[in-house]
Amino acid sequence: MIWALGLVISAMAAAAGLMLGVPSSLRITLIAVALGGLLAWDLTGLRRRLRLAAAGDDLSIIRRRHLAWLGLAVGAGLLLTIAAMLIPLHFSFAWTTFLALAAILAMAQLVSRLLRG
Amino acid sequence: MRRVTLLSVVVYALILTALIARNGSLLALSLLFVTYLVAGLLRAPGGLSLEITRTLSAERVGSDVPVEVTVTVTNTGSPLEELLLEDGVPQGLMVSNGSPRHVLRLARDQTASWTYTIGGSRGYYTFAPVGVKAYDPLGLVSRERTFSLPAAGRLAILPPVLRLKYVAIRPRRTRVYSGLIPARVGGTGTDFFGVREYQAGDPPHRINWHATARHPETLFSNEFEQERVTDIGIVLDGRQQANLYGHQSLFEYSTLAAAALADAFLSQGNRVSLLVYGRFLQWTLPGYGKVQRERILRMLALAEMGDSQAFAGLDNIPTRLFAAHSQVVLISPLIYGDSPLQSEGTDDEEVLIRLRAHGYQVMVISPDAVAFEESVLRAAPPDKVRLADVELAARIARIERGLIMRHLQRAGIQVLNWDVSRPFEEAVHTHLGRPLAYLRAVAGNP
């Protein structure tokens, strides 16, 4: 629970910093804050799940694959985020709203479909 | 809150805030979380397609004997990155070695197997289904399913069977087959029964020369008592009110006695049945031999205490289940005195005397409730109760119980007042292991 709160707070802190218009040099720090929150939340979840294992279980492969997948996901996310911040794309407000709503709807569809299996 | 829900909320909140604030950097920040979310969802586990088997090293064991349980899981579906499997160990069983729960990764067609050891006290245990929970590699999405395994899901832990050397009983009627119970009929046997006039074919060593000398005209022969098998009905009292003292129970002792007696009677060749009298009636049909022994032990493994209005007193024992004039053995701490559950004429003592009057040869094995409760109170006296009060109360209760036992004995009922701190076989050997001639002389059975 506390780690979930940590994720929310770090995301909120990073968002607040970006909204306040911090200088470009500090933006990387804000992204690092959000990334740290996400990593801490993820690794705590992993530890909690693996705590249920029996003494003799070989968890190294699970840990290894988790870290590999986490690294891939976070690396890709980080690249996208930095790219999006560095490469300015100008859209009109109407286009931005349309794209954002489309993204939200697509995400909702994706999540519900994948959850339904 | 589920992890995937929390992350989705964060993502939506970031996107909406970015839209409202018209802030591109915020939208860019949300991409970090979106990528993580999509990465987890893309590898979400599909349908769980597993083949699970469970094998037990034994399906019937004695008390506290360890049993090895082996669970084998084969993944016949898509690879599962993180799998939590938990075998449904029944309540009451203790895991002494290994673990019923494991976390592992299973590739397609991969098999995993593990063994753990369980043990416990008397009972009949049914395993619950195996619980399976699969996660994606980031632990965002989980799928749960339980697998009911059709076979090898039951374990009977039988009560310990004490070996009794001999239990002297003397029913009024026996069966026709030869055994070890005196039949009250002259014939071939070992115990002297009487003297009768010589009949052609009697061996010369049976001639009673003393009697013949007194009657010179006639020859007399010794006659011996035939020994046969008999019908024995064991009644195990499972009434909670009779067995429960505080948080301690005498029922396990009663079960132990029932198992030992059933084994002893069956190994003497008798036909034995068992009635468990508690919340309801559980009845094993009369039978002989090892099969019947197994049936009785399995029923004893299942036996539980319980209360019911209908069976509050012993007056509802269905006597028609027992053969006429057969031996009935009641194993009960007995309820007597001013018990609130007893109505007029249903006192255990009266019921037993009535049973005796109906022609049954009754034996009562009574775990001593007074000594037991006294030891419980001495070990952990309740608040505001002095040990001197406990002692005084125990003395009064012991006198009352002694009177009841004496009444029963006077009515021709064999009584064994068993102090459960003593081994049962020792108590039986002392009180019921005497020669039959001695019993005849002392008990005055008709």
Mean of pLDDT over chain B: 87
Residues B31 and B112 in one domain: no
Residues B116 and B205 in one domain: no
List, in sequence order, the alpha helices (H) in B153-275: 209-214, 240-243, 251-267
Considering only CB atoms, A50 lies closest to which of B1, B21, B103, namely: B103
Residues B125 and B90 in one domain: yes
Percentage of the residues of chain B whose pLDDT score is greater than 70: 94
Residues B326 and B356 in one domain: yes
Kindly give the parts of chain A with pLDDT less than 50: none
pLDDT at B341 over 70: no
Q: What is the pLDDT of residues B224-261, one digit of tens each?
A: 888 888 899 999 999 988 888 878 899 999 999 999 99
Q: What is the pLDDT of residues B1-19, one digit of tens each?
A: 688 888 988 988 998 888 8
Is residue B365 within 8 A of residue B329, CB to CB? The reply is yes
Q: In whole angstroms, what is the distance from residue B349 CA to residue B346 CA?
A: 8
pLDDT at B205 over 70: yes
Using DSSP, state whether B286 is helix, strand or coil: strand
Residues B182 and B235 in one domain: no
Residues B26 and B94 in one domain: no
In the DSSP assignment, the letter for residue B320 is G
- Regarding beta strands B111-120 and B67-75, do their DSSP bridges make them parallel or antiparallel, or are they unpaired? antiparallel
B217 vs B365, which has greater pLDDT? Answer: B365
Residues of chain B neighbouring A47 (CB-CB closer than 8 A): none
Q: Answer whether A5 touches B (CB < 8 Å).
A: no
Contacts of A58 (CB under 8 A, 6+ apart): B104
Q: In whole angstroms, what is the distance from residue B179 CA to residue B322 CA?
A: 19
pLDDT at B132 over 80: yes
Identify the band that residue B95 occupies on the pLDDT scale cut at 50, 70 and 90: very high
CB pair distance less than 8 Å for B138 and A69: yes
Domain ranges for chain A, please list them: 2-86, 90-117
Residue A72: closest C-alpha in chain B: B39
Residues B138 and B13 in one domain: no
Q: In whole angstroms, what is the distance from residue A11 CA to residue A35 CA?
A: 8
In a domain, B308, yes or no: yes
pLDDT at B442 over 60: no
Considering only CB atoms, A85 lies closest to which of B25, B46, B138, namely: B25
Residues of chain A neighbouring B115 (CB-CB closer than 8 A): none
In a domain, B201, yes or no: yes
pLDDT for the residue numbered B256? 94
pLDDT for the residue numbered B399? 93
Residues B65 and B12 in one domain: no
User: Which amino acid is it at B183?
Assistant: A
In a domain, B74, yes or no: yes
- Per the structure, the count of domains in chain B is 4
pLDDT for the residue numbered A115? 64
Q: What is the pLDDT of residues B28-50, one digit of tens each?
A: 899 999 999 989 888 888 788 99
pLDDT at B345 over 80: no
Beta carbon pairs, A and B, within 8 Å: 157
Considering only CB atoms, B31 lies closest to which of A45, A54, A84, namely: A84
Residues of chain B neighbouring A11 (CB-CB closer than 8 A): 10, 13-14, 29, 33
Residues B295 and B349 in one domain: yes
Residues of chain A neighbouring B10 (CB-CB closer than 8 A): 7-8, 11
In a domain, B79, yes or no: yes
Tokens linked to B245: 């003292």
Considering only CB atoms, B23 lies closest to which of A18, A35, A65, namely: A18
Residues B244 and B363 in one domain: yes
User: Which of A1, A60, A62 would you mutate first to test chain B, the one with the most B CBs within 10 A?
Assistant: A62
pLDDT for the residue numbered B262? 95
Identify the band that residue B445 occupies on the pLDDT scale cut at 50, 70 and 90: very low
pLDDT at B21 over 70: yes
How far does Cα B326 stand from its chain's mean position?
25
Residue B13: closest C-alpha in chain A: A12
Average pLDDT over residues B296-315: 88
Percentage of the residues of chain B whose pLDDT score is greater than 90: 45
Of B89, B99, B152, B98, which is closest to residue B120 (Cα–Cα)? Answer: B89
Residues B298 and B403 in one domain: yes
pLDDT for the residue numbered B177? 80
User: How near does any CA of chain B get to the CA of A113, in Å?
Assistant: 10
ipTM for the complex shown? 0.87
On whether the pTM is more than 0.90, the answer is no
The residue written with tokens 């195996």 in the block is B130
Identify the band that residue B86 occupies on the pLDDT scale cut at 50, 70 and 90: very high
Residues B269 and B369 in one domain: yes
Q: In chain A, which among 19-78 make CB contacts under 8 A with chain B?
A: 19, 27, 30-31, 34-35, 38, 42, 45-46, 49-50, 52-59, 61-62, 65-66, 69-70, 72-74, 76-78
pLDDT for the residue numbered B419? 93
pLDDT for the residue numbered B168? 84
pLDDT for the residue numbered B328? 94
In terms of Cβ atoms closer than 10 Å to its own Cβ (0-12, 13-18, 19+), residue B83 is buried
pLDDT at B143 over 60: yes
User: How near does any CA of chain A get to the CA of B90, in Å?
Assistant: 18
Domain of residue B87: give its range.
50-158
User: Which amino acid is it at B6?
Assistant: L
Q: In whole angstroms, what is the distance from residue B68 CA to residue A111 CA?
A: 43
Residues of chain B neighbouring A14 (CB-CB closer than 8 A): 29
pLDDT at B443 over 80: no
Q: What is the pLDDT of residues B255-296, one digit of tens each?
A: 999 999 999 999 988 999 999 998 888 899 999 999 999 999
